[in-house]
A and B are shown apart, each in its own frame.
Chain A
Amino acid sequence: MNSLRSSFGPVLSLVIMGLVGVWVVGMIIGPQLIMVEQSLWNKEIGGEAAQISTRIDRLYNEVDTLAFDKSDAEALDESTDRTEKIAAITAEIDTRKSTITELEATEVKPIKVYSFRNYTLMGASHFFIFLKTIAAAVAVTVIAFVVCYPIAFAVAKVATPGKAAMIMLFLIIPYSINELLRIFAWLMILDNNGVANLILGWFGFESIPFLGSGSGVFIAMVYAYILFMVFPIYNTVETLDGSQIEAARDMGASTWQIHRKIVIPHAKPGIAVGCIMTFMLSAGSFAVPNIMTRGIAEPWFTQLIYNKFFESSNWNTGSAYAFTLVIACIVFIFMMMRFFGVGIKDIAK
C-alpha cells in the first residue's frame, strides 16, 4: 500500500485500490457466492398447494380465452343479442377472477429449502460427461505441453534472435484472428465433406466422422489453446543462463539429461502456469464444443451447464453443475502446483 502510494501518489492509488476492490468483490467473489448460494437451495411446494397453483394457472388461462371471446362479441353489429353476450361473458370473467382471488389468498408461497440435493441430481450419463470433459482437458494439456516445450525451447535457446522473432510472429498471427473463426476453420477441415476427408478420399480411405465421434472437439481445442502453453514456458526457459546448458554438456550430460536435470527444473513455474491455463481454458470452453459437436456428438460438460441455465431454466441445478466444474479446476491447479513443487510465489514470478 505504501509502495503503491509512493509510486502513484495518493489519488491514483485510491483509484487503483477502488478498482481492484470492485473487480475482486463485484466480479469474482460476488458472482461466485451467488452461484454457490443458488446451488444450495430448491423451491419446495407441498402436494395440495401444487394443486391450487395448477388451478389458479388454469383459471388465468380461461380468463384469457374469455377475454378473446369478449373482444369477438364487441366486434359484432350493435344489437340486443350482442349486449347480452357481452354481459354474459363479463359475468363469467368476474366469477373466475373472484375465484382466483380466493384461491390466491389460500396459496402457500413456495419455500426455499437449503440442501445439497442439487449436487446429487447429476445422473450417470452427465457424470460420465463430466469425467470425460476433465479427462479430455487433461489430454489437451498433455498434448499442448509435448508440442510446446520443444518449440519454446528452440525459440528461447537455439534460434538466433532474428529467427526467434520470426517464429514468435508466425505463432502470434493465427491468434490475432477471432477464436470463432479459427474454430469454424477446423469445422470446415473436419466436416464429413471437409478438407481432411477429401484428402483421405484421394488416397482411397473411407471418410472418418471426425465431428460425430467427438474427436473434432478435441483437435480444435488443442489448436485453440496451445499458445497459452508456449508463452509461459518460453518466458521461463528464456531466463535460463545458456552456459548452464553448456556446462552440463561439458560434464557429459546427454540431451535428454540436460532437459531433465537442468532445463525442465528451471522452467517448472512456466510449465505449471502453462498447464493450468490450458487446462482451465479447455475444461471451461463453451465455444469450441458448441460449434464442433452441433448436436451430432456427445456434449461437453460446459454445454450441460448452459442447458441447465437457459433451456431447462433450472438455475439451481445449473449452479451446482458449474460449481462442481470450478472445484475440479481448483483441485487440478493444486495438483499441478504440488506435482511441479511450485508455490504461488514462483508462479507469480
Chain B
Amino acid sequence: MSTLEIKDLHVEVETEAGPKQILKGVDLVIASGEVHAIMGPNGSGKSTMAYSVAGHPKYTITQGSVKLDGVELTQLSVDQRAKAGLFLAMQYPIEVPGVSVANFLRTAKTALSGEAPKVRTWVKEVNEAMSRLGLDETFSSRSLNEGFSGGEKKRNEIVQLELLKPKFAILDETDSGLDIDALRIVSEGVNRYMAEGGHGTLLITHYTRILNYIKPDFVHVFVDGRIVTEGGPELAENLEVEGYDRFVKMAAAA
C-alpha cells in the first residue's frame, strides 16, 4: 500500500514579467489502487502540477510538500523521484534523435531497478508491451519519439508505463489528440497497469471521454491553481452537462 500526498503545493514559473504564481495551494492524497481524475479548464494549472511534482526545472515550488510513502520528493532530483516510484506520461513526449527506443527502455529499466534486465526475457517483454499498444517491433529500433505521430508518442508513453511499473503514474492529457481506437488501446494499457495492483493513477484531462474507459474513483476540479471541488465519478458526468463555467465563476468570486 503506497500513498502519494500533495500538501499545500504552491508553484511559480519564471516569466518575462517576473515570477508568476500558478499553483496556489493544492492538497491531494492518492492511495495505491485508486484512480483520480483531475479536470479543469485550460490554464488552470493542471499540467503545472504534473511537471512540478516530477521536478521540471522550469517550475519552482515555493511552498508545500509532495511525499511518496513519506519520502519528500521535492528534495529529490528528477531521476531520484522516478526511482522513488513516480512516472509522468507527458502531453508532448520529447524526441531524442539517435537514441533507440530499445536502448532507452533498457537504460531506464536498469536505472530504476539497479540491475540490467535479463536480455532474453526483457526483449520479449518489450515486444509484447509494444504489440499490446499497437506498435510493431520496428519501433524499438527507431529513435525515441522521432518522427512518431502524436498517437504513436502517446502509445509509447503507455508502453513505458507498463514496462517500468511505477508506484504512481501521472498522465498529463494522455487522451488529447487520440482517435477513438487509440483512446481505447491507451486506456486498456492504463487499466492493465492498475489491475496489476499496488499502483495509483492521477489522470489529467479536459474531457470526460477517456473516463468512459478508465473509471475514476475520485474526480477533482481544478480552477485557477486550486482544487475547487471534488467528488466521485458522478462529478465528471455533471461537468459534461454543465461545463466548468460555474466553478470558474465561483473561483473568481472567492
Query: Are these two chains actual partners, yes or no?
Result: no
